[in-house]
């Protein structure tokens, strides 16, 4: 039995079942009795919503991320743990890598630890094929699942995302307005977020009739810490006679690779080569000139995610999906 089965058999919403299990006063005695009768009949033992029945709760949230050495993911974990602690919750962190089987295994591990909810940090946990997302829907039948910067329409799954499409579209348009039209897009991921960013760049370039060279879409598949390798990939394009005066990167490390390429080729930044990064991370101030970057409001996303999770655990109706806008922060690598 899951909370969905209880909801169906009692003829009430999932939120109402949650409110009953959490001891909320916003439920009539008649409705409360109806829900508790079903629970007793089927001997349902709630997990994340156990506190309303006077059962023990672990006051613990499971966190999953693919790679904690990634600056964006590491910062997100920091914000999330900090805000969970402020609400009286501990956390269990699983670094899963990018293999689906390992992600599913980690999810199952967290469920066995009887966590009160699970947070998936980053967009690489969502797949295009519905069957590949079954490990998420299976878990959400037992505890609320929170997605940071990814979206999925499923019961008991809540999404908090940055509008990566619009942010990248606006950044591309801004570079075009500055007089740079031969803009290369440098990216390293085809995740949910990665596809949104790429689509934003393509939409702006196609709108202006500028996406005429397939080589302007450059996928980097090396280590996110290997800045020289990123620069070398751009050098190889130059050696093939492919020229560009702008680079928009899917994250700040790739933008640093573009900056290193420009320096080694003797280009003036931003006069000969304009560069925009993404995430507005600590890397933006680690170079000269400092890096123009898109701030995707990571701390705001994390705060809202925890607020939503706490509301769900308290039995409140919470938004299933919340979208925040990013902001282009201009510095020395753009005109």
pLDDT band of residue 308 (cuts 50, 70, 90) is very high
Q: Is residue 230 part of a domain?
A: yes
Same domain, 37 and 76: no
Tally of structural domains, the chain: 3
pLDDT digits (tens, 9 = 90+) for 277-299: 999 999 999 999 999 999 999 99
What is the rounded CA–CA span in Å between residue 121 and residue 193?
A: 12
Same domain, 72 and 128: yes
Residue 331, in any domain of the structure:
no
Which CATH number goes with the domain that contains 105? 3.40.50.2300
Same domain flag for 118 and 67 = yes
Confidence of residue 17 (pLDDT cuts 50, 70, 90): confident
Mean pLDDT for the chain? 93
DSSP-assigned letters across all residues of 102-128: HHHHHHHHHHHTT-SEEEEESGGG--S
Could you give phi then psi for residue 184, rounded to 5 degrees?
-90, 140
Q: From the CB of residue 152, how many other CB atoms can be counted at a distance below 10 Å?
A: 21
pLDDT confidence tier of residue 54, bands split at 50, 70 and 90: very low
pLDDT attached to residue 190:
94
Asked if residue 316 has pLDDT above 80, the reply is yes
136 with 199, same domain: the answer is no
Instruction: Kindly report the pTM of this predicted structure.
Output: 0.85
Q: Quote the CA–CA distance of 160 and 122 in Å, as a whole number.
A: 10
Task: Supply the pLDDT for residue 212.
Answer: 81
Question: Per-residue pLDDT for 37 more than 60?
Answer: yes
pLDDT value of position 295: 98
CA distance 64 to 67: 9
Radius of gyration of the chain (CA): 23
Residue 20 φ/ψ, nearest 5 degrees: -65, -45
Beta-carbon contacts of residue 310 (< 8 Å; ≥ 6 apart): 87
* CA–CA separation, 80 and 85 (whole Å): 9
Query: What per-residue confidence (pLDDT) applies to 49?
Result: 45
Domain carrying residue 2: 1-53
Residues 156 and 187 in one domain: no
Q: Are residues 156 and 170 in the same domain?
A: no
Please tell me whether residues 253 and 205 are part of one structural domain.
Answer: yes
């Amino acid at each position: 039995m899951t909370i969905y089965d209880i909801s169906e058999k009692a003829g009430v919403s999932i939120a109402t079942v949650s409110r009953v299990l959490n001891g909320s006063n916003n439920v009539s005695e008649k409705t409360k009795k109806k829900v508790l009768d079903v629970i007793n009949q089927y001997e349902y033992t709630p997990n994340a919503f156990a506190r309303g029945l006077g059962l023990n709760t672990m006051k613990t949230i499971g966190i999953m991320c693919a790679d904690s050495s990634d600056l964006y993911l590491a910062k997100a974990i920091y914000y999330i743990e900090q805000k969970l602690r402020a609400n009286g919750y501990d956390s269990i962190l699983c670094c899963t890598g990018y293999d689906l089987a390992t992600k599913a295994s980690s999810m199952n591990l967290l469920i066995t630890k009887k966590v009160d909810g699970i947070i998936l940090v980053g967009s690489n946990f969502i797949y295009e094929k519905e069957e590949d997302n079954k490990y998420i829907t299976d878990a959400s039948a037992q505890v609320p699942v929170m997605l940071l910067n990814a979206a999925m329409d499923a019961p008991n799954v809540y999404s908090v995302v940055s509008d990566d499409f619009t942010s990248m579209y606006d950044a591309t348009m801004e570079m075009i307005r500055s007089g740079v039209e031969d803009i290369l897009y440098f990216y390293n991921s085809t995740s949910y977020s990665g596809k949104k960013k790429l689509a934003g760049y393509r939409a702006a370039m196609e709108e202006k009739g500028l996406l005429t060279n397939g080589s302007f879409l450059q996928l980097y598949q090396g280590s996110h810490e290997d800045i020289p390798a990123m620069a070398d990939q751009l050098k190889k394009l130059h050696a093939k006679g492919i020229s560009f005066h702008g680079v928009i990167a899917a994250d700040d490390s790739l933008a640093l690779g573009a900056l290193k390429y420009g320096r080694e080729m003797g280009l003036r930044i931003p006069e000969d080569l304009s560069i925009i990064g993404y995430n507005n991370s600590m890397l933006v101030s680690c170079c000269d000139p400092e890096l123009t970057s898109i701030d995707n409001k990571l701390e705001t996303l994390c705060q809202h995610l925890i607020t939503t999770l706490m509301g769900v655990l308290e039995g409140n109706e919470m938004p299933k999906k919340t979208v925040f806008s990013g902001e282009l922060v201009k510095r020395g690598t753009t005109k």
